[in-house]
Amino acid sequence: MKQTLAVAAILLAAGGVSTLAHHPFDAEYDWKKPVTITGTVTKLEWKNPHAALTMKGKDDSGAESDWMVELGSPATLTRAGWTSKQLRAGEQITVDGWLAKDGSKRVSGKSVTPSGGHELFAAGAFFDRASSQASRRTHGAAATSGTTSTGTKPTNTPKR
């Protein structure tokens, strides 16, 4: 019994760490402060809950710094056409996103555009917020109107 409780406590603690690492956009980033950064890739970390891109670049004011760009999860980026080898160190890129509220050199990514390439959806935390709000609106409408999100009446299928 003690062993079972110990294992359960370890699993709960491990799950709690990843839950704490995932945060809402509004907690860290300011949607009223969009930014464009142009520079070179330092590193792409393909990890959960968010992939991270580090780069050396210049912001809209021309100030050069080391930046950390928070991207979406690897699964979301893969669905958007990314691979873990998408960007290599030294590659020229342009990033559009939103600045951190605390003034640090961190950005929630909106898009990443390699030089000579096409714009890639960065799936940053802002889009987690937007999709969860859209989901609540859709589910709320279906619950109050008696229709599904496609506008059709739900059918009651007998359980087998």
**Model confidence, pTM:** 0.66
Q: Where are the domains of the chain?
A: 23-139
Per residue in 53-86, pLDDT tens? 999 999 888 989 999 999 999 999 999 999 999 8
Written as six digits, the tokens of 53 are 């891109």
Strand, helix or coil for residue 152: coil
Nearest Cα neighbor of 112 from 156, 145, 72 is: 72
Give me the CATH code for the 23-139 domain, please: 2.40.50
* Residue found by looking up tokens 């109107």 in the block: 145
Q: Rounded to an integer, what distance in angstroms lies between the CA atom of residue 37 and that of residue 63?
A: 10
pLDDT of residue 127: 66
